Structure 1
Amino acid sequence: MTTPSAPLDLLYTDTEEELRAAVRALLADRCDAATVLARAESGSPHDPALWHTLAADIGAAGLLVPEKLGGAGAGHREAAVVLEELGRSVAPLPYLTGSVLTVEILLGCDPSAPEVASLLREIAAGRQICVPALPLTQAPGAPLPPPVRDTGGGVLTGSVGSVADATAADVLLVLADTGLHAVPATAARLTPLVPLDLTRPLASVSLESAHGVRLADPATARAAVAGALLSGAGLLASEQLGLAEWCLAETVAHLRTRHQFNRPVGSFQALKHRLARLWLDVAGARAAARAAADALATGAPDAPLTVAVAQAYCSGVAVRAAEECVQLHGGIGMTWEHPAHLYLKRAKADSLALGTAGHHRGLVADFAELPAP
């Protein structure tokens, strides 16, 4: 007789709300729209001082790291709350890559190994930023890219394209034919790419006889990466939720104050209907994102299905919310001075990150044993 799984808990705990309040206050003070716009246009969006405050002072970088390794010993639900707030402000910080994907990969290796444990401690303390050298579009359930070649003794040669936040990293996690290796970012040649989303920089990573420290064997490494991609896709839904919530709230606020024909624009019935539909979409996205975070936190056996459903749904909601935000702001929504375009670009980029909505719908069909004709 099998034990039934615990019911999903979609509500936020008091602890999660306190964490949200701390992160939101920090971002409101130091990552407002004008600051993000200026940093995005500068070509160097990453803010090391802001990252240190979030990662070390608030302790967000170590939420998924066990306490014995210097982390908070929290879980995916708490990390999801942080990502909601980062999405709400389109913060140019390497949290998804550096504190979710990387930590999940390292925990999927042997956390008791000295090299892995040391790296986890550095990440949790906010002293190092480590990102996986994987394409941002790499999806869970899809074949991994060809590994980098190990020419012997941990000397790596090869290249990986479209790596997110590589330019902000101190260490890169590289999947080689001999396993997972930690490579100093200074040992790689990083070629910045022109991304659609200016708040999440991309780069091509080239390794030419770069020395790395081996962290895991090939089988363990590939399993760890697969697990991390699943968690990353599930928590990306929370970032998309935060983004959609900001777009909805900002649009409603604008339509309340914008007047035409001596009436608030928001009083027009056609716009009311559009906002009502968007509100329903966002409410559904909140349920899907919270379900994915809770399933990952509890290790639910149906977590892969729940994550696929969340990504299949939240991806489109974020894009629709951002498109409505731009359009319903009228002329100002089309200007560079208004942050709406940053949200649209992040939503579009997120719709490709860690698998498209179409890819995740295919996974849902596979899990339901209803393959496409």
Structure 2
Amino acid sequence: MDFGFSQEQEMLRASARKFFENECTSTVVRQRMEEPAGVTDDFWTKLAEQGWLGLVLPEEYGGVGLGIVDLVVLMEEMGRVVMPGPFMATLLGGLAILEAGSADQKKEWLPRIANGDAKATLAWTEPSARWDAAGVAATAKPAGDGFILSGTKLFVLDAHLADVTVVVTRTAESKTAEQGLSLFLVPKGTPGFEAKLLPTMDQTRKLCEVSLRDVRVPKSARLGPKDGAWAPLSRLLERATVALCAEMCGGAQKVLEMTTEYAKIRVAFGRPIGSYQGVKHRAADMLVDVENAKSLTYYAAWAVDEQVPESALATSMAKAYASDAFRKVSAAGIQLHGGIGFTWEHDLHLYFKRAKSSEFTFGDATHHREKVAQLINL
């Protein structure tokens, strides 16, 4: 049994690390997080040239055709630099089109996503902030040769930048929350569709409020069959959640490295603080949290790629653990740095804030522990 990454995956990691160390420095991140876009056209084009925007999209649509394990490698490196920009949003939108779209819809949008010409996102959560079927109240009602979408979506990743937004709506009342959901493509500029930036704790990840004021779309805008969105939504959410877990692992690993290096050079009472037992124990706990989060994430990525029955369980286990681990590791890193760790000038706060925003994206630890309990019949 081989628990290691392939040679090609290690090459991807090395290439990504070199790229982000050069193109996404702390100075760049701080500049971008102050801007509404969070990314420049030049940087986005470079991501496309590397093939990363279409990493998991099929080759027939201009993608690279790799799997979630490969995506995990890339996302870890993005997490190490708390990369800003709409990569995660576009991954969500692209996966939604891939999972639920018709051949024509895929041909229209996926090549444009892969080559960097179009950005996308998924509008799922509402004021309840729930990443499940029960939280969907926005409606899509038949009207002539199309539908009228109404409602409000909150905490939508980078909707202000998206050329197309995949909107989750309720098209029928049903006995269960999972039934009666439908997906619709809403291109940028559609009358009645408005995306407004929200103030956020994590300035490196932009969130929006999306207002749907009687948005009229044609029947051709529907992704998949009417009332049949839950199955593709479940599949894409598993894949995106594993990707987010990998990003959290990368961020936690970087915090661990920053903290251990600081503990070796910061001297107190004539000795490096890393020589004191209390600091050693905290650093050891951080390492255990990081390695456990990685192990669960790697297993979940393999399970999703192989489509094994326990993929949903593995994904929720990984998200529950990684959410807590990244938050605890980043908080410990700040504390072990002492006063400098609390300053704006030091980078640790960027990781702590990313940990908090990622904790609630795609469901927090409590949500996923409940899913784990349900999946093991408790």
2:176 maps to none
Q: Does 1:52 align with 2:57?
A: no
2:139 maps to 148
Residues 138, 88 of structure 1: CA spacing in aligned structure 2 closer, same or farther, 3 A cutoff?
A: farther
Q: Does 1:222 align with 2:233?
A: no
1:199 maps to 204
* Greater relative contact order (CA < 8 Å, ≥ 6 in sequence): 1
Write out aligned runs for 1:241-260 (5 A).
241-260=249-268
Q: What does the per-residue CA deviation read over 1:29-72, in whole Å, with 9 as the maximum and x for residues that have no partner? A: 12111211222234542333212211x11111111111112111
- Equivalent residue of 2:134, what SS? coil
1:130 maps to 120
Aligned partner letter, 2:139: V
Q: CA RMSD in A?
A: 1.9
Once residues 52 and 329 of structure 1 are traced to their aligned partners in structure 2, the CA distance between those partners, rounded to angstroms, is 37
- Equivalent residue of 1:301, what SS? coil
Aligned residue among 100, 107, 114 for 1:117: 107
Question: How far apart are 1:156 and its partner, in Å?
Answer: 2.9
- Equivalent residue of 2:222, what SS? strand
Aligned partner letter, 2:197: P
Q: Does 1:186 align with 2:173?
A: no
Q: Structure 2: give runs of 5+ residues left out of the alignment.
A: 172-181
Aligned partner letter, 1:186: G
- Equivalent residue of 1:308, what SS? helix
Instruction: Tell whether the 8 Å contact from 1:37 to 1:339 is kept in structure 2 after alignment.
Output: no
Q: Does 1:32 align with 2:25?
A: yes
2:178 maps to none
2:6 maps to 13
- Equivalent residue of 1:168, what SS? coil
- Equivalent residue of 2:229, what SS? helix
1:103 maps to 94
Aligned residues: 359
Question: How far apart are 1:145 and its partner, in Å?
Answer: 0.9
1:365 maps to 373
TM-score, length basis structure 2 = 0.90
Q: Does 1:325 align with 2:333?
A: yes
Once residues 3 and 373 of structure 2 are traced to their aligned partners in structure 1, the CA distance between those partners, rounded to angstroms, is 24
- Equivalent residue of 2:254, what SS? helix
Question: How far apart are 1:151 and its partner, in Å?
Answer: 5.5
Identity of aligned residues (%): 34
Once residues 158 and 332 of structure 1 are traced to their aligned partners in structure 2, the CA distance between those partners, rounded to angstroms, is 45
Instruction: Tell whether the 8 Å contact from 1:65 to 1:120 is kept in structure 2 after alignment.
Output: yes
Instruction: Tell whether the 8 Å contact from 1:285 to 1:310 is kept in structure 2 after alignment.
Output: yes
